[in-house]
Structure 1
Amino acid sequence: MRLYTNYKWILLVISFLVAMQIAGHSFSQPQEAVYLMTAGKRTEISPQEAAVIVQRSVGGRVLSVNHESSHYRVKILNSKGHIQIITVDARSGAILSTR
Structure 2
Amino acid sequence: MEIAGTKIPAGEPVLVLLGSASRDPRRFADPDRFDSHRDARGHLGFSHGVHHCLGAPPARREATIALRALPERCPDLALEADPDTLVWRPGMMRGLLRLSARFTPAG
Q: TM-score, normalised by structure 1?
A: 0.28
**Larger RCO, structures 1/2 (Cα 8 Å, 6+ apart):** 1
Would you tell me which structure has more helix in proportion to its own residues?
1
